[in-house]
Amino acid sequence: MTATTPVDTSSSTAFREASRRRTFAVISHPDAGKSTLTEALALHAKVISEAGAVHGKAGRRGVVSDWMEMEQSRGISITSAALQFAYGDAVINLLDTPGHADFSEDTYRVLSAVDCAVMLLDAAKGLEPQTLKLFDVCRHRGIPVITFINKWDRPGRDALDLCEEIKQRIDLEPMPLTWPVGEAGRFRGVLDRADGSFIRYTRTAGGATAAPEERIEPARALDEEGEDWTHAVESAELIDISGGEFDVAKFFDATGTPVLFGSGVLNFGVRHLLDLIVALAPRPTPRIGVDGTSRSLDAPFSGFVFKVQTGMDKAHRDQVAFARVCSGVFERGMVVTNATTGKPFATKYAQQVFGRERTTLDVAYPGDVIGLINASALRVGDTLHAGKPAVRFPGLPSFAPEHFAVAYPADLSRAKQFRKGVDQLAQEGVVQVLSSERRGDGTPVFGAVGPMQFEVAVHRLLAEFGCQVKLDHLPYKMVRKLGDPKQRATTNLGNRGEYFTRADGTELVVFTDQTALNVTLRLNEGFLLEPLVAGT
Ligand code: G4P
């Protein structure tokens, strides 16, 4: 669209465009194949013509972000942004969740901006720790989950066994829509449980192009696949008996998950996943403001900032705020109000950002993600809106930190800059800044979901505030919320733990390990500890 093309901002446009949107993220453990699957999805939607374009593994054409040297040297992506593409009449927004072992609070925050999640499992490994953490956030937020069991082209676990694990460990009803034909490692295709037919996949060279599919009647499938087909039919029947038929209500209330089997690298099962997302993933719905009223999709533009990133473009020390559109039509150039400060914000520089690629964005609808450049005035959790009525959405949740370190300026003459920098990082949610009586006045303790948040904080304090920072890592592993803050004065934790106060006033108690927690509870009868739920 050119600048001269008038944008249709009528309410029917907002509704129509919102109903085309499917906004989701992939939750997985590192190495389960998220980048490969992202490529495969883009390939099927014909965004790219050959796999290897988004992922950027060694030797492949890469568009993965390289905004920090740290990121480059590790070959990982810290940036969360969105890949948008059309698929049939639908518009897919795939939000990137940083997936390295050192993942951070940003990964969780992305989930506040999606309507659905795809849980990607490695067929040989099943549910892994990071997937479980991300799933907890989805559960807490009531986000419906589609499961894709990946890497079926190589030896792995039994399909029934994987379904049982989902049921037992996370209490989610597996509802397979397809069933693999050929055990893991000898993947021939899938039984489509909707009509009992066999979908046979054909390999393409290196999986670089979309895999051709052939739909085959059951009788011919039996003839051609023999025992593999019989085994698939029998296993699928077992699933029916154990109550695994598809029930859309269970998907929407997040008690059940449709399950698909496939191979991202071979592009097997990927079309099925895309079609399922289009058919099933919830469309954007009105978001509820802090006053309890919901903002209709056709109300004037509103959105919330779920991520702020500084220094993405080395040439210009810019700050990009990523916002999800919640209502109305966003047009580049419109002046919106930041509900937190009441100040206007001009959106002259709005972009779509994925990896290293940026394109100017002229118009966006509910469910879309906009990257606002030069956004130094915006913070994570801010609400932006145009026109009246004003709206403010709830601020972003914080998550239970799992790593703690005391931070000092290496050079005390930079103490003032250090304080300023720490305040800035806290506001942006780069790390949680905690205070502790034990550490003395003004000495902050950094709390993080993943240790990489510390690295980003140290890097930015040096690069932007000229402060070399020393970190003393603390040995705490368990965090709880103090049930009755008055008990703080009467309960001595000794060297088993420490009290911290979070910027939002939440009183935390941290312990070195489970034994330290148990001993404290034994020594202090009636000491009230509450779990710190992810996403509160
Ligand atoms: P991630 O983003 O979740 O961390 O995973 P990524 O896509 O980077 O995949 C991790 C490894 O798993 C890669 O191998 C990738 O090729 C492989 N992989 C992904 N999907 C499949 C699949 O469906 N089947 C099989 N067999 N392998 C899969 P690598 O050796 O680390 O990298 P590469 O050299 O193959 O790119």
320 vs 445, more confident:
445
Using DSSP's 3-state secondary structure scheme, residue 522 falls into helix
pLDDT of residue 67 exceeding 50, the answer is: no
Ligand 1: does its nearest atom lie under 6 Å from the Cβ of 30? yes
* Listed range (66-75, 182-191, 302-311) with the worst mean pLDDT: 66-75
Ligand 1: does its nearest atom lie under 6 Å from the Cβ of 317? no
Q: How much is the pLDDT for 244?
A: 78
Please give the average per-residue pLDDT across 136-143, as a whole number: 91
pLDDT of residue 59 exceeding 50, the answer is: no
pLDDT of residue 74 exceeding 50, the answer is: no
Centre of ligand 1 to C-alpha 319, Å, is 32
Q: In sequence order, which ranges of 54-141 are alpha helices (DSSP H)?
A: 69-74, 105-110, 129-141
Centre of ligand 1 to C-alpha 41, Å, is 15
Centre of ligand 1 to C-alpha 50, Å, is 16
Supply the residue whose CA is at minimum distance from atom 25 of ligand 1.
Answer: 151
When pLDDT is cut at 50, 70 and 90, the band that residue 448 belongs to is: very high
Please give the average per-residue pLDDT across 41-66, as a whole number: 51
Q: How much is the pLDDT for 140?
A: 87
Residue of 31, 131, 261 with the most ligand 1 atoms within 8 Å of its CB, for mutation:
31
Please give the average per-residue pLDDT across 15-24, as a whole number: 95
Please count the other Cβ atoms lying within 10 Å of the Cβ belonging to residue 251. 21
Centre of ligand 1 to C-alpha 306, Å, is 28
Percent of the chain with pLDDT over 70: 85
Q: How much is the pLDDT for 299?
A: 93
Centre of ligand 1 to C-alpha 99, Å, is 13
pLDDT digits (tens, 9 = 90+) for 151-209: 999 999 999 999 999 999 999 999 999 999 988 888 989 999 999 999 999 887 766 67
Given a contact cutoff of 8 angstroms between Cβ atoms, the answer to whether 18 and 366 are in contact is yes
Dist. CA 287–CA 82, nearest whole Å = 20
List the chain domain ranges: 21-58+71-280, 287-385, 403-531
The atom number, within ligand 1, closest to the CA of 264 reads 23
pLDDT digits (tens, 9 = 90+) for 308-341: 876 545 555 567 888 999 999 998 889 999 998 8
Ligand 1: does its nearest atom lie under 6 Å from the Cβ of 51? no
Ligand 1: does its nearest atom lie under 6 Å from the Cβ of 100? no
pLDDT of residue 210 exceeding 80, the answer is: no
Supply the residue whose CA is at minimum distance from atom 33 of ligand 1.
Answer: 57
Q: How much is the pLDDT for 43?
A: 80
Q: Phi and psi at residue 371, in whole multiples of 5°?
A: -100, 115
Q: How much is the pLDDT for 180?
A: 94
Q: How much is the pLDDT for 206?
A: 66
The atom number, within ligand 1, closest to the CA of 266 reads 23
Q: Phi and psi at residue 211, in whole multiples of 5°?
A: -80, 130
Task: Indicate the DSSP class of residue 223.
Answer: H
pLDDT of residue 42 exceeding 60, the answer is: yes
The atom number, within ligand 1, closest to the CA of 262 reads 23
Supply the residue whose CA is at minimum distance from atom 32 of ligand 1.
Answer: 57
Centre of ligand 1 to C-alpha 175, Å, is 26
Ligand 1: does its nearest atom lie under 6 Å from the Cβ of 96? no
Ligand 1: does its nearest atom lie under 6 Å from the Cβ of 97? no
Q: Phi and psi at residue 305, in whole multiples of 5°?
A: -85, 120
The atom number, within ligand 1, closest to the CA of 100 reads 4
Q: Is the ipTM of this complex over 0.85?
A: yes
Q: How much is the pLDDT for 19?
A: 95
Pick the most confident of 3-7, 219-223, 386-390. 219-223
pLDDT of residue 53 exceeding 60, the answer is: no
Centre of ligand 1 to C-alpha 125, Å, is 13
- Max CA separation in the chain (angstroms): 81
Instruction: Record the tokens describing residue 86, joined without a space.
Output: 């059309």
When pLDDT is cut at 50, 70 and 90, the band that residue 517 belongs to is: very high
Ligand 1: does its nearest atom lie under 6 Å from the Cβ of 31? yes
Centre of ligand 1 to C-alpha 250, Å, is 31
Q: How much is the pLDDT for 72?
A: 41
pLDDT of residue 220 exceeding 50, the answer is: yes
Ligand 1: does its nearest atom lie under 6 Å from the Cβ of 215? no
Residue with tokens 């953490």: 133
Ligand 1: does its nearest atom lie under 6 Å from the Cβ of 98? no
For the chain, state the CA radius of gyration: 25
Query: Annotation-wise, does 98 bind a ligand?
Result: yes
Ligand 1: does its nearest atom lie under 6 Å from the Cβ of 28? yes
Centre of ligand 1 to C-alpha 260, Å, is 18
Supply the residue whose CA is at minimum distance from atom 31 of ligand 1.
Answer: 31
The atom number, within ligand 1, closest to the CA of 38 reads 7
Within 8 A by CB and 6+ apart from 442, the residues are 419
**CATH class entry, domain 403-531:** alpha beta
Centre of ligand 1 to C-alpha 406, Å, is 37
Dist. CA 227–CA 229, nearest whole Å = 5
Centre of ligand 1 to C-alpha 129, Å, is 18
* Listed range (28-37, 74-83, 197-206, 367-376) with the worst mean pLDDT: 74-83
Please choose, from the candidates 187, 162, 157, 182, the residue with its C-alpha nearest in 3D space to the C-alpha of residue 172. Answer: 162
pLDDT of residue 100 exceeding 50, the answer is: yes
- C-alpha distance from residue 182 to each of 13, 222, 230, 266, 382 (Å): 47, 12, 10, 15, 50
**CATH class entry, domain 21-58+71-280:** alpha beta
Supply the residue whose CA is at minimum distance from atom 10 of ligand 1.
Answer: 31
Please give the average per-residue pLDDT across 418-435, as a whole number: 89
Dist. CA 457–CA 466, nearest whole Å = 12
pLDDT of residue 80 exceeding 90, the answer is: no
Query: Annotation-wise, does 371 bind a ligand?
Result: no
pLDDT of residue 247 exceeding 50, the answer is: yes
When pLDDT is cut at 50, 70 and 90, the band that residue 71 belongs to is: very low
pLDDT of residue 81 exceeding 80, the answer is: no
Q: How much is the pLDDT for 286?
A: 95
Q: How much is the pLDDT for 198?
A: 95
Ligand 1: does its nearest atom lie under 6 Å from the Cβ of 36? yes
Given a contact cutoff of 8 angstroms between Cβ atoms, the answer to whether 303 and 274 are in contact is no
Ligand 1: does its nearest atom lie under 6 Å from the Cβ of 40? no
State the average pLDDT for the chain. Answer: 85
CATH code reported for the domain at 287-385: 2.40.30.10
Percent of the chain with pLDDT over 90: 55
Centre of ligand 1 to C-alpha 32, Å, is 7
pLDDT digits (tens, 9 = 90+) for 371-414: 887 777 888 889 999 988 899 998 877 788 989 999 999 999 99
Ligand 1: does its nearest atom lie under 6 Å from the Cβ of 38? no
Quickly list DSSP for 410-464: SSGGGHHHHHHHHHHHHHHTSSEEEE-GGG-TT--EEEESSTHHHHHHHHHHHHH
